[in-house]
Structure 1
Amino acid sequence: MTVRMLGASLLSLGLLAGCAQTPVLRGTGDLGVVIERATGSVQVVEHSGRTSLGSVPGLGDLSHAHVTYSRDARYAFVFGRDGGLTKVDLLTRTIVKRIIQAGNSIGGSVSQDGRLVVAQNYQPGGIKAFDADTLELVSEVPAEYAPGKFSKVVGLADVPGQKFVYALFDAGEIWVTDFSDPKHPKTTRFPAGQQPYDGLVTPDGRYFMAGLFGEDGIALLDLWHPEKGVRKILDGYGRGEEKLPVYKMPHLRGWAMAGGFAFLPAIGRHEVLVVDTKTWTEAARVPVKGQPVFVMARPDGRQVWVNFAFPDNGWVQVIDTPTREVIKTLAPGKAVLHMEFTPRGDNVWVSARDDNRVTVFDTDTFEVRKTLPATAPSGIFFSHRAARIGF
């Protein structure tokens, strides 16, 4: 072999080696995670091809888990029941960092500028702000509502202006904390009602709503005019009627807003409440199969999908928003815990914990498009949440 031929062969081998080492490039816009609660892992999925890319283990107790995303949608922040906060890289499917920041945590959110990750805690109560890059503690706000008395924090949501809004279950209050100066947050307190159990922010970031477990009604705070205080809406919607035993608390975070109306789960009832968002008064009630847990609108608002607490948690019903009637009843599997729409609403992913699967439905035809195996799946969270207020 001549020197020229040898050089050409080495060059070819070098080019081939270079090609072999080139990483696969992709965006993160169609990625997401499925919580596998039994194994303390998350399964990374992509919804364009409806496939699983792999699992990331080692995330601790995910019996009640929540996920939010970094501003660029590359990193998932996973909050676990054991107080763990884990930063997961969706592209490499690895843990970037994991900390135990509390005794019991049920969720969190990311600030408007993407620089802070804020965790809401049951134990010891309060919120903590961390640097989104390093997960180093920046500041914290203990939920001490009276001398020596601390409350569980629920319903945390990010809102414009580097602020976070959340409810204090034991205190019966809504707090708004401003992190414009991250190391010196400022908090404003508002009386809300008996035992606010969850909260949500309207898509424009204006209104915060907290459901009340201790009384019939919803606490509503106008964040444009906080000086007006909290207003009670749907006051006494179940007055004079016996409540059913509550087997699972409804989640307002998955609420539905469609056509100028909000669709909300009625606690202790087999009904979805319809609220006129111009007047914040009750407009209708939709009878459903069981006690609603998640009441979620398809992104175009034309449909509302509902799942239920035990013993009806094997069913999902679809409400047509113009007629406010149930148009489809589906049986995706045993113990349906969560649903997540693809960004434009062509598909919805539904987890069935006890059947160890996730089913993908076409939202027009209700046909099954794909079934994916998962170990005791619960929450499903797609990365487009990174661009939405209150998630």
Structure 2
Amino acid sequence: MLYLIALLLSAFAYAEKVYVVERERGAVAVVENDKLKGEVKNLGNLNHATLKFLGSKAFVVSRDGFLSSVDTDKDSLMGKVKVGDSTIGFTFCEGKIVVANYSPHTVVFLSPELEILREIDTGSRNVGIKSYKNLLTFALMDRDQVWVLDCKDYRKVKVFENVGNMPFDALLSGESYLVGFFKESSVGVANLKDLTYRKVSFRAEKGEVVFKIPHFGLWGVYGKKAYIPAVGERRVHIVNLESFEYEGSIELPGLPVFVSVSPDGKYVAVNYSGDMEDYLTLINRGEGKVIRTEKLGKRILHFRFTSDGKFIYLSSYYENRLKKVSVPELKVLGEVNVPTPSGVFIKGG
């Protein structure tokens, strides 16, 4: 009993502002001190929406091509601009916001005030947009290319041709840009320091290990290790991102969707699809073993560790709730009503 009281006191003493995508309402809920503070509305189609923070602003890109800026002090909509018809992601580079579009086939540079500075026609759907120092890197799904641009003057620094069959997503690990392919099991690696490119396969001691590469946004990464949800298997793969060696796997009770590593590196958390979609699993990262699996909601769509790693916020879709959970106990400490919650983003987290 005393331990539970200590947990609750710790939870109230530690507070971060949480932004939760209301997927079916085109809005973002704002939660502070574990209470609903307000909503930011009229943000567009927020299925698989992306939200990122820059200074005192949050930027949200919708699937139907709207980029919105939110004042995170007042939690009000500052501006909204149409940047495409089907938008897949964005990044920050040299103080600019850069958006990748499926349709039209463009990459768009904007100022923090949402003024369009430059539109670049690529002739392809664009994916995997990342920034490294002053360099912008993205993959061209329909042209099997990776482009590297200078964010300062928009010039084309490098074009990697024939990188692989239909690139679909990418991950930035240090100076390495990793790109995955729909129709290949290998991974492309562009070194953004010396502008070289190679293809690798994850290998074990006994030879090549081939597994389907899921979207990189579902991976958990800590240092040079990646924890990758297996596609169609009840396990998490472990891969070294420096040597590209396959280091094994961890058995799970369900089919994993999203994997996240706590900021302190102690734990790996996993949610599921299918028969285990109401559950969350916590893994001891050092030991590579499941600590516990708990039923914490009704269809957990997303979750995120707080910056100190002591709590997890998760969205329980069918309950219309955001829940705060203790780590490593996985005890629900608080709940907030949020309609159709999906993506969870923490300011400062």
Task: Go from structure 1 to structure 2 and tell me whether the alpha carbon gap of 1:155 and 1:335 turns closer, same or farther (over 3 Å shift).
Answer: farther
**What CA distance in whole angstroms lies between the structure 1 residues aligned with 2:141 and 2:289?**
33
Match of 1:119 among 87, 99, 103: 99
Deviation at 1:323, TM superposition (A): 2.0
Per the alignment, residue 3 of structure 2 pairs with none
**What CA distance in whole angstroms lies between the structure 2 residues aligned with 1:220 and 1:269?**
26
Match of 2:165 among 191, 194, 219: 194
Q: Give the structure with the higher percent strand.
A: 2
Match of 2:17 among 11, 23, 31: 31
Aligned partners of 2:317 and 2:340 also within 8 Å: yes
**What CA distance in whole angstroms lies between the structure 1 residues aligned with 2:88 and 2:250?**
30
Per the alignment, residue 24 of structure 1 pairs with none
Task: Go from structure 1 to structure 2 and tell me whether the alpha carbon gap of 1:123 and 1:337 turns closer, same or farther (over 3 Å shift).
Answer: same
Deviation at 1:250, TM superposition (A): 4.1
The Cα offsets for residues 247-275 of structure 1, whole Å up to 9 and x where unpaired, read as xx944235323364221223343331111
Per the alignment, residue 300 of structure 2 pairs with 336
Runs (4+) of structure 1 exceeding 6 A deviation are none
Is residue 40 of structure 2 the alignment partner of residue 56 of structure 1? Answer: yes
> Aligned partner of 1:192: which letter?
V
Deviation at 1:66, TM superposition (A): 0.2
Query: What pairs with 1:1-391 in structure 2 (closer than 5 Å)?
Result: 30-46=16-32, 49-70=33-54, 72=55, 74-111=56-93, 113=94, 115-132=95-112, 134-144=113-123, 150=124, 152-160=125-133, 162-181=134-153, 184-190=154-160, 191-202=162-173, 205-227=174-196, 229-234=197-202, 237-238=209-210, 250-258=214-222, 260-384=224-348
**What CA distance in whole angstroms lies between the structure 2 residues aligned with 1:332 and 1:118?**
37
The Cα offsets for residues 197-225 of structure 1, whole Å up to 9 and x where unpaired, read as 322212xx312222333222332222223
Aligned partners of 1:292 and 1:308 also within 8 Å: yes
**What CA distance in whole angstroms lies between the structure 2 residues aligned with 1:135 and 1:126?**
16
The Cα offsets for residues 125-152 of structure 1, whole Å up to 9 and x where unpaired, read as 33211011x21111122232xxxxx2x2
**What CA distance in whole angstroms lies between the structure 2 residues aligned with 1:353 and 1:138?**
38
Aligned partners of 2:320 and 2:338 also within 8 Å: yes
**What CA distance in whole angstroms lies between the structure 1 residues aligned with 2:145 and 2:257?**
23
Deviation at 1:158, TM superposition (A): 2.1
Q: Give the gaps of 5 or more residues in structure 2.
A: 1-14
TM-score, normalising length from structure 2? 0.87
Deviation at 1:318, TM superposition (A): 1.8
**What CA distance in whole angstroms lies between the structure 2 residues aligned with 1:215 and 1:268?**
17
Aligned partners of 2:65 and 2:87 also within 8 Å: yes
> Aligned partner of 2:67: which letter?
L
Aligned partners of 2:185 and 2:201 also within 8 Å: no
Deviation at 1:233, TM superposition (A): 2.8
Aligned partners of 2:296 and 2:332 also within 8 Å: no
Deviation at 1:80, TM superposition (A): 0.3
**What CA distance in whole angstroms lies between the structure 2 residues aligned with 1:225 and 1:364?**
42
Aligned partners of 1:34 and 1:378 also within 8 Å: yes
**What CA distance in whole angstroms lies between the structure 2 residues aligned with 1:217 and 1:320?**
29
Task: Go from structure 1 to structure 2 and tell me whether the alpha carbon gap of 1:331 and 1:125 turns closer, same or farther (over 3 Å shift).
Answer: farther
Percent of residue pairs bearing the same amino acid type:
28
**What CA distance in whole angstroms lies between the structure 1 residues aligned with 2:101 and 2:24?**
22
Per the alignment, residue 9 of structure 2 pairs with none
> Aligned partner of 1:110: which letter?
F
Task: Go from structure 1 to structure 2 and tell me whether the alpha carbon gap of 1:39 and 1:259 turns closer, same or farther (over 3 Å shift).
Answer: closer
**What CA distance in whole angstroms lies between the structure 2 residues aligned with 1:323 and 1:208?**
29
Count, aligned residues: 330
TM-score, normalising length from structure 1? 0.78
> Aligned partner of 1:172: which letter?
D
C-alpha RMSD over aligned residues? 2.3
What secondary structure does 1:253 align onto? helix
Q: Give the gaps of 5 or more residues in structure 1.
A: 1-28, 145-149, 244-248, 386-391
Aligned partners of 2:233 and 2:255 also within 8 Å: yes
The Cα offsets for residues 161-209 of structure 1, whole Å up to 9 and x where unpaired, read as x22222233333332222121xx3325222432333322212xx31222
Aligned partners of 1:41 and 1:57 also within 8 Å: yes
